[in-house]
């Protein structure tokens, strides 16, 4: 699996608030507030939204009767906001979260970590609505409040840094995300030491950011460090290394350093076969990756048997119409074209197009790519009219998926 910036991190505050409420309800002598909250959160998790709303509203009514600034009031407001967001009613969720922030601000000590949590929740909601400027303002304020309340090096501050970084990454504003991810790494290292397992994720995330900016050398340094930490922790052949190894292989591939990607993928293949068995679908994934690297190095004699084996494994494990076949089928067809085995490539391209349409939709960009690949073959074998038909359809898909760009170019 390729490690990526996890969108779920943006919503971690919302999720943790809900879990905290559920845990509160596990005591033996439950209050009416706890009972309503537990029943409401359980029903929400089951998708029973009307029943959940009734219970969570009852919990909120009880919390509003409590004296002082009882934390259960904020918790009830937040739970109900989560429900409304799950129901597709973000405006009502926003109203509730703004109310939670206002309650904190009116308290005797407004600059608290609890206020930061509510601001983070509000920012997370704005992200779901793609209101990125408002999300940024909420996350930045949450960071400032938490720093003031807990200090700049407190581990809790990391969540705010991660939220801001993830927000910028989501908008492809990589330069703005970079200082936040650097600070996450620095803070984590101060808290846990330079070789702690907790460093693997921030190392990987910063490396992936560098890769997105085509800064391959610093990305490689970070990925190798993350890999070394994991190897020291779990050993050199543990399947849990596959994510780190895949990140490294992908970096080398993106940087067109194919000779460096090859041994990494070969190691991944060995670990996957030993960990999952020779016919596991994960083996097929690595076989296809390794075969593609060999193809890019003009070594079809090595690539073809690997991808053929990948296709056989997937067909046996998942069936002949599984979506994961589209990549290997396309790669094998390209290899047959490269080796002038056109009669073998033709049915593979047709099968790739059909499967991609069935599993991803007729206007998916991968359908466009498959059509163009097939058109190239058709031109090579003199079927120009058939090639034009595929190219025309590919152009139509491209225009549909890129209307603004196409019109501006015209």
Structural domains of the chain sorted by starting position, each given as residue range(s) with its CATH number in brackets: 1-183 (1.25.40.10)
Mean pLDDT of 342-354: 98
* pLDDT for 23: 41
Mean pLDDT of 35-62: 95
Q: How is residue 201 written in tokens?
A: 């994720």
C-alpha angle 72-74-80 in degrees, rounded to nearest 5: 100
pLDDT at 27 over 90: no
In angstroms, rounded to a whole number, what is the distance separating the alpha carbons of residues 341 and 333? 9
Look up residue 16 and give its DSSP letter: H
Contacts 24+ apart (CB under 8 A), 361-368: 362/397, 363/397, 363/400, 363/401, 364/397, 365/397, 365/398, 365/401, 366/326, 367/394, 367/397, 368/394, 368/397, 368/398, 368/401
Q: How many CB atoms lie within 10 A of CB 91?
A: 10
pLDDT at 245 over 80: yes
Mean pLDDT of 64-92: 91
**Confidence class of residue 404 from pLDDT cuts 50, 70 and 90?**
low
**What percentage of the chain exceeds 70 in pLDDT?**
91
In angstroms, rounded to a whole number, what is the distance separating the alpha carbons of residues 367 and 289? 20
In angstroms, rounded to a whole number, what is the distance separating the alpha carbons of residues 304 and 73? 63
* pLDDT for 153: 82
**What percentage of the chain exceeds 90 in pLDDT?**
84
Angle, helix 342-360 to helix 365-380, in steps of 10 degrees: 160
* pLDDT for 42: 95
* pLDDT for 28: 56
The pTM for the full model equals 0.82
**Confidence class of residue 156 from pLDDT cuts 50, 70 and 90?**
confident
Taking CA atoms, 39 is separated from 13, 15, 46, 66, in Å, by 21, 17, 11, 20
* pLDDT for 107: 79
* pLDDT for 51: 96
In angstroms, rounded to a whole number, what is the distance separating the alpha carbons of residues 49 and 243? 37
Q: What is the pLDDT of residues 380-402, one digit of tens each?
A: 999 999 999 999 999 999 999 98
Q: Within 13 Å, how many C-alpha atoms sit on residue 233's CB side?
A: 15
Mean pLDDT of 143-151: 93
Q: Which residue in 229, 231, 268 sits closest to 248, CA to CA?
A: 268
Look up residue 65 and give its DSSP letter: T
* pLDDT for 405: 52
Residue 237 DSSP SS3 = coil
Q: Which residue in 81, 42, 45, 76 sits closest to 58, CA to CA?
A: 76
Q: What rounded mean pLDDT belongs to the chain?
A: 90
Check residue 112 and give left, alpha or beta (phi > 0: left; psi -120 to 50: alpha).
Answer: beta
In angstroms, rounded to a whole number, what is the distance separating the alpha carbons of residues 395 and 373? 13
């Amino acid at each position: 699996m390729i490690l990526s910036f996890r969108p779920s991190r943006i919503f971690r505050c919302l999720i943790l608030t809900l879990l905290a409420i559920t845990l509160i309800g596990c005591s033996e002598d439950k209050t009416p507030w706890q009972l309503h909250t537990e029943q409401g959160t359980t029903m929400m998790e089951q998708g029973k939204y009307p029943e959940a709303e009734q219970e969570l509203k009852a919990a909120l009514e009880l919390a509003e009767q409590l004296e002082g600034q009882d934390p259960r009031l904020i918790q009830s407001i937040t739970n109900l906001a989560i429900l409304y967001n799950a129901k597709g009613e973000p405006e009502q969720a926003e109203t509730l979260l703004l109310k939670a922030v206002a309650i904190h601000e009116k308290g005797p000590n407004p600059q608290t970590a609890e206020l930061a949590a509510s601001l983070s929740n509000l920012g997370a909601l704005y992200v779901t609505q793609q209101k990125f400027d408002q999300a940024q303002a909420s996350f930045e304020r949450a960071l400032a409040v938490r720093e003031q309340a807990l200090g700049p090096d407190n581990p809790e501050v990391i969540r705010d840094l991660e939220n801001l970084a993830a927000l910028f990454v989501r908008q492809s504003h990589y330069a703005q995300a970079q200082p936040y991810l650097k600070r996450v790494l620095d803070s984590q290292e101060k808290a846990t030491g330079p070789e702690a397992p907790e460093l693997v994720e921030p190392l990987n995330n910063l490396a992936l950011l560098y890769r997105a900016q085509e800064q391959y050398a610093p990305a490689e340094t970070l990925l190798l460090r993350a890999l070394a930490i994991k190897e020291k922790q779990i050993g050199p052949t543990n399947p849990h290394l596959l994510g780190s190894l895949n990140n490294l292989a992908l970096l080398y591939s993106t940087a067109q350093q194919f000779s460096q990607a090859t041994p990494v993928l070969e190691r991944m293949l060995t670990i996957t076969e030993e960990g999952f068995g020779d016919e596991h679908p994960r083996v097929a994934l690595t076989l296809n990756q390794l075969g593609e690297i060999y193809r890019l190095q003009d070594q079809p004699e090595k690539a073809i048997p690997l991808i053929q084996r990948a296709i056989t494994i997937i067909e046996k494990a998942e069936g002949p119409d599984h979506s994961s076949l589209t990549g290997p089928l396309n790669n094998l067809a390209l290899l047959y074209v490269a080796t002038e085995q056109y009669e073998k490539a033709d049915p593979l391209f047709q099968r790739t197009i059909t499967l991609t349409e069935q599993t991803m939709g007729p206007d998916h960009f991968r359908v466009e790519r498959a059509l163009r690949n097939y058109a190239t073959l058709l031109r090579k074998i003199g079927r120009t009219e058939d090639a034009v038909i595929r190219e025309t359809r590919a152009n139509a898909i491209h225009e549909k998926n890129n209307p603004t760009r196409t019109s501006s170019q015209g």
